[in-house]
Amino acid sequence: WCGPCQMQGKIIEQQVLPEVAGKVKVVKVNIDEQADLAVRLGVMSVPMLFLYKDLIRPKKPRLLLVRLL
């Protein structure tokens, strides 16, 4: 994985996951192995972070992130 991906992953694992344990599900996707999924999600660069509520990507994800944290 790329350097920025590793850095973001560490932040999520060390700082975010402990705060949201049991409230949200965090999933990593290897876009090299899941190229079709990356295309469907519109991944243009990495790292990329998507937030969903009730399986729907909200129009204002920053607001969702603030509410989760």
Active site residues: 2, 5
Q: Quick one: tokens of 16? A: 């975010």
Given the structure tokens 């996707």, which residue do they identify? 29
- Chain-centroid distance, C-alpha 29: 9
Q: Which of 58, 53, 46 lies closest to 1 in space, CA to CA?
A: 46
